[in-house]
Structures are given as structure tokens and as C-alpha cells.
Structure 1
Amino acid sequence: MSTEVGGVGCGALVLGGTVSGVDAVLAELVKRGHGLVTRSLVEQVVPEWTLQRACTNGELVRVLPEVFAAAHLLKNQSTPPLTRIDPVLARRAVAAWMRGRGALSHLTALDLWGLRRQLPGDLLHVSTPAGSGLRSWPGVRVHRRRHLTLAPPSTVVRQGLPVTTIERALVDSWPMLPLAEQRTPMISAVSNRLTTPGRLQAALDATARVAGRVALRTLLNRLAEGCRSPLEIWGHERVFTGPGMPAFQRQVQVRLGRRNVYLDLYAEPERVNIELDGATTHGDPRQREIDLRRDAQLAALGILVVRFAHRRLVREPEAVRQETLAILASRRPT
């Protein structure tokens, strides 16, 4: 195991009271591994009984087959050892255990992609080709993928660890997420331009079984239509479509000085931009000032900006709809 395995510091490891030469070597290996060490590495430099004694004395704990962690890094909980260490260290332990036979996936991959944090104690997920020999272990679940290849484009390296692609991670995680959280990582990934609705759709099409496929496909359709937030999706489905509404363009890019801005809903013939302000935007004075300057710059281009707050949109959808229709009608030439 290289010194890159880890991520949580490990202090000096005292083995067996008095530190012999071989004990000092083992302690140094654990320190270099930032709290982790593998059996194969230990056996290259010290006798196997040194590792056995460290475990017997309670100084090292086996967290996975052939992978050990410094005992002081484990939290005192009645859960599997792997779930009792910091998630960053746990992922590196899993990578050391896999030895190139799999990649971190599902909810664990979402964490590595920065889309949803895994908490201490959460189950870690690994995807592996059939026949790899990896088996689920307390604290880690192994998913077998018949056509998975452990190289780009199927897997990539992030933070020094093998991980499935962002599209695969999002589709695989969809059934595992609580209903109230399902859409958030997908929307964030598209909004931050980490992926596209088309690439996500391709990943879904390549997956034979996905619980909640219909709801996921509907979300991908909304993202493909330009929606970039739960509020925009809600407005699209309940307010800004139907009789009398124009075919709004979504996320239209407009150049303002040295920067580009994106319009939530744009009716080009009427030159009206509908902006949907989220619940967190309303009380932020700094964001309000930015919005006002942006609106003034758009007005100079002849574009009228109409803003609807989250509270009004969800509580008065019909009033918002009628107001929008009236504004659009007033902008049309007579």
C-alpha cells in the first residue's frame, strides 16, 4: 500500500509495550499508510506474527480481508469495523482491498463526484465485473456488472480512487435515495454542467432494471427541456405550459458585458424573461443586488424581466399563470 492510501492522519503506533525493531517497522508502515496497512505489504518486510500480535493486542483491527487499520481511528460503536472509521479512510481501505478488481460506485461514487456526502457508518458500494472474486463484506456491498470494464470510459480515477462514471453513479443510485432526495444529485450534476441529460438518458437506456424508471425518465425529459431546479420543474408542470402559454426557451444564454447569463424562461417574440427565485434567494440582500443589476442590463437590451418568488409560485399558481399571460399579451404588437 502506498502512502497515498488514507487521508486521515495516524499518530505513532505503540506495539506490545516495548517497541522492538520489527514492531517499529510495522508502526512506520501504518504511519505511512495514514492509518492503514495491508497484509501483503507487512509480509514483505516483517514476520507475519508481528501483524498477528498487533491485532491480538488491540492496536490494529482488520476492517476488510487483508486490510488493517490503527485501532485508535475506529469509533466506539457496535457496528462493523469498516463503518467505524472516517469515510475517506474507509474508501481507501476498500480500494486497497479491491486491488484493481472493482471501482467505487452507487452512493459512494456520488460522494466522490461531490453530489451527495456519505456519512460515517454508511454502507460503501463497489461495482465489479463478473468473476472478479470480490464478495460483499460487512460495511461494503459488491454489485456485479456483466459488461463493466475497469478502464475509461466505464470507470475513471477521482481523488486517486477508481470510480464509476458520474452518469452510471447517478442512475445506479436513483433507487437507493429517499424519495425526497432522489432528484437533487441529478439536477445538481446537470446544472453544474458535470454531465448532460442526453448522457444520463444513454446510461439509463443501458441499464436493464431500474426501480422508478418512469419517474427518472420524466425528470430527464424535464432536464432536456431546460429545467435546472426543482422549482423550474414544478413551474413547468403546473404553471408555464398549457393553453395560451408560448413555447418558452429555457436556459437561453445572453452575453452581458464580459459574462454570460442564462434566462430561466424566455419568450423571444415578446422579449420577456420569466425568472423563478428559489426560497433561499428571497432573503439574500447580496443576491438581490446582483439580480437587480442583471435585470437592468437585460432591460437595456429590450428584455423585460419578470420575477416570481418561490412562495407565490407554489401558493398562487393560477394567479401567476394569469399574470404571465397578461404580461405576454401586453408585449405583443397590436
Structure 2
Amino acid sequence: MNGVLQALVDQGGGLVTRALAGQVVPESALRAARQSGHLVRVLPEVYVDARLVRTGPDARPTGIEVDRQVESGLGHRVESGVDRRVGPSRSTVAPSRSGPAGTLALLGRLGPELARRAALAHADGRGALGNVTALDVWGLRAQHPGEPVHLDVPGGCGLRSRPHLRVHHREGFVVEPPQAITRAGLPVVRLERALVDAWPALPPVDRAAPLIRAVNDRLTTPERVSVALADAPRLAGRADLRALLTRLAAGCRSPLEIWGHDHVFTGPDLPVFQRQVRIQARRRSVYLDVYAARERVDFELDGATTHGDRRQREIDLRRDALLATLGILVVRFTHRRLVHETDDVRREIRAILADRRREG
């Protein structure tokens, strides 16, 4: 491949656009790189080093290099099935067809980081990573292999979805704060928008975890996500998301605490509990899961993963002893008891609170 073009590709982390290449090398150099199998086109005007395109059983490599990508209905010429023999240091990429009339889906064979940069290069400043792709960039939920790159773009900008690329047109959207920020060097939609948009895209079992983690890590608040939800009145699963936000706003910080909120620590026979109450003890901040302030009882909900962890058990014992110096009784319930012995747990809670009132 032309040395100048190779240097340009290397500087771009294995990626180059036609516009950028055209500034330093003639069109013939780019065409020769494609024909020799050194570069492959993954999106219109976007090319990557062929060595970075995954091959293997799932990719069905055939030793055939793709020269042109089909643009169905746009009259672009197709050149496929041409034997492009390359040296042993070069990968060969087979055309993986998906979508209308032989559209090539090479974007899906790139690593996540390169696929995102390719999608953004294709958008040419008009898009920001959104939806589940944005959650990955925010560090809240890794995208699974095969999931497409999601881009938010202004309405009517002309970009469209393709294999392994989902383009979401939003009226009034601009790729600048506060609607989009730069994170890890990439433009990404603000977190609250990503959490709301990704809710229906995720399997139901996976929906709550990114939001709970975002709140626990203090990246956002239930109130700010609720504002973003108000801008999506037709969101699928909206009622479930609103219910989760209500639980988080009440102080729940884990699926087990949500279970306890809904099934254990509620009802006319129990007081109104405080959740995630911060207590200062010997210059240390301690957070109480479910706190009965009048009776000074802290109910701790121990998740399934804490059972049998000797180090965590020692930490809990030290914490409970520290709270005892403040006159706070700590009562712990395991995940198994909370879920499978709910009625018994509720009876114990009532009895403990009644005893504390008599002692007081």
C-alpha cells in the first residue's frame, strides 16, 4: 500500500475516510489499496485496515476480498467475488450479506471501539453515540458481540441505518452540550437520555442494572432521569421504568432493596422507614439500608453474594459494633429469608420494633 496512505491509516488507529485520504494521496492510491486487500470499506466513505476485520468460523472467510459495498437502490456498482490474493501477513475478508439486496455487513466484524469510530466517521460530525452503545461508553453495560452501534443524529440529516448500525433521528438534536458530551474521546449523548432510550432495547432482566449502578455511582439521580423520561412519552416499558425510578428516589439501591421495599418493609402495620440514611460514627460515614428512626433499628439486607464471604462478614461485624456504640441495633436478613420467608420476616420486624419501643 502507498506509504503515505499507510501512515495515515496508522495515525487513525486503523481507519481512514475517503475525504481525509484525498487530501494527501490521489484517488488511485485508495483504489489500489482496496483492490490489493489492504483496506476494506465498512461504511460509505469509511475504510479500515483489513487486518482489523475479524475472521473465523462465524465470519465464514472465503479468501474473497470485497472491493465495493453495495448500496441497494442507489445504483452503485458491485464488484464482489473477485479473487484478491494477498500475502500471508494480510487478512482476507469474506462478504457477509445482511439486509436488502446484498448489503455488506463488515461493520459487525470490527472490534467495538473501531466500529464506533467508523460509525462516527461516517456521520462526519452529525452524530453522537446513543442508546446501549452510550451505556457502554459510560461504563454501565458492555455491549454484547453482534449488537449494533447506535447513533443519535439530527432529524432529516440524511443518514440512515445499515447492518450493524442503528441511526436514531431526533428533532432538535445537536452534537454539543448539554445534549451530547465527549467521553473517552468520543461524542456520546448525555447519560440520562441513554438510560431512557436503552430501556426498551435491553432484555427485561438486564434493564434495571445500568440505572441502579448509575445512581449508586452518583453519575446521575432518579430525578434527572425522570426529566429525560418525560421527553419520551411513547417509550415502550415506560411504566416499569417510572416504577423503578420511584423506588430509587425512595432510597433503594439494589434489586434486593427494591424487593424489600415492595414486599417486606411496607404496609399499615409497619412504620415509615428511611432508606440509605447516612450516620456519622467516629469520623466515619455509615449508610443504613432500612432505618426505623424512632426505635433506632437498622435493618440490613444481605445479598446472596455476601453469604460465606469471611472478609465481608468481618467488615459487617465491625460496622455493627460501631453502630451499637450509638445505640443503634442492627438486624440482618439474608436474601433467602427475605424472598422465601417474607411473612416470617415481617413478623420478626414487628416484634423487634415493639420490644424497642417498650425498652425506650
Q: CA deviation at 1:286?
A: 1.3
Q: CA deviation at 1:151?
A: 1.4
Preserved contact between residue 87 and residue 119 of structure 1 (Cα < 8 Å): no
The separation in 1 between residues aligned to 2:192 and 2:246, in whole angstroms, is 15
Q: CA deviation at 1:137?
A: 2.0
| Structure 2 residue 128 is matched with structure 1 residue 103 | yes
Select between 72-81 and 298-307 the one with higher mean Cα deviation.
72-81
Preserved contact between residue 37 and residue 69 of structure 1 (Cα < 8 Å): yes
The separation in 2 between residues aligned to 1:120 and 1:85, in whole angstroms, is 10
SS state of the match for residue 107, structure 1? helix
Q: CA deviation at 1:290?
A: 1.1
| Structure 2 residue 23 is matched with structure 1 residue 44 | yes
The TM-score with structure 1 as length reference comes to 0.91
The separation in 1 between residues aligned to 2:257 and 2:346, in whole angstroms, is 14
Deviations 1:64-114 (A, max 9, x none): 111111111111215411111110111111122222101100000000111
Aligned to 1:304: 329
The separation in 2 between residues aligned to 1:71 and 1:121, in whole angstroms, is 19
Aligned to 1:269: 294
The number of equivalent residue pairs is: 313
Preserved contact between residue 266 and residue 273 of structure 1 (Cα < 8 Å): yes
**Aligned letter for 2:143?**
Q
SS state of the match for residue 227, structure 2? helix
Aligned to 2:69: none
| Structure 2 residue 263 is matched with structure 1 residue 238 | yes
The separation in 2 between residues aligned to 1:222 and 1:312, in whole angstroms, is 21
| Structure 2 residue 301 is matched with structure 1 residue 279 | no
Aligned to 1:127: 152
| Structure 2 residue 9 is matched with structure 1 residue 30 | yes
Preserved contact between residue 85 and residue 120 of structure 1 (Cα < 8 Å): no
SS state of the match for residue 176, structure 1? coil
Q: CA deviation at 1:244?
A: 1.6
Preserved contact between residue 103 and residue 162 of structure 1 (Cα < 8 Å): yes
Q: CA deviation at 1:209?
A: 1.3
Preserved contact between residue 222 and residue 233 of structure 1 (Cα < 8 Å): yes
Deviations 1:178-219 (A, max 9, x none): 011111111111111111010011110111310011111111
Aligned to 1:219: 244
Aligned to 2:273: 248
Q: CA deviation at 1:222?
A: 0.6
Indicate which of 182, 185, 192 corresponds to 1:160.
Answer: 185
Aligned to 1:71: 50
Identity of aligned residues (%): 59
Aligned to 2:137: 112
Moved over 4 A (4+): none
The separation in 1 between residues aligned to 2:318 and 2:107, in whole angstroms, is 51
Q: CA deviation at 1:121?
A: 2.4
The separation in 2 between residues aligned to 1:312 and 1:167, in whole angstroms, is 35
The separation in 2 between residues aligned to 1:260 and 1:86, in whole angstroms, is 42
The separation in 2 between residues aligned to 1:296 and 1:100, in whole angstroms, is 57
Preserved contact between residue 248 and residue 267 of structure 1 (Cα < 8 Å): yes
Indicate which of 147, 154, 158 corresponds to 2:172.
Answer: 147
The TM-score with structure 2 as length reference comes to 0.85
Preserved contact between residue 84 and residue 120 of structure 1 (Cα < 8 Å): no
**Aligned letter for 2:297?**
V
Aligned to 2:205: 180
The separation in 1 between residues aligned to 2:239 and 2:355, in whole angstroms, is 39
**Aligned letter for 1:222?**
R
The separation in 1 between residues aligned to 2:326 and 2:309, in whole angstroms, is 26
The separation in 2 between residues aligned to 1:179 and 1:31, in whole angstroms, is 41
Deviations 1:2-42 (A, max 9, x none): xxxxxxxxxxxxx3xxxxxxx11111111111111111111
Aligned to 1:88: 113
The separation in 2 between residues aligned to 1:25 and 1:258, in whole angstroms, is 61
Indicate which of 33, 54, 76 corresponds to 1:54.
Answer: 33
The separation in 1 between residues aligned to 2:204 and 2:163, in whole angstroms, is 26
| Structure 2 residue 208 is matched with structure 1 residue 229 | no
Q: CA deviation at 1:272?
A: 0.3
The separation in 1 between residues aligned to 2:357 and 2:221, in whole angstroms, is 34
Aligned to 1:292: 317
**Aligned letter for 1:145?**
R
The separation in 2 between residues aligned to 1:92 and 1:290, in whole angstroms, is 44
SS state of the match for residue 184, structure 1? helix
Deviations 1:239-294 (A, max 9, x none): 11013211000010112333322111000000000010111111221111111111
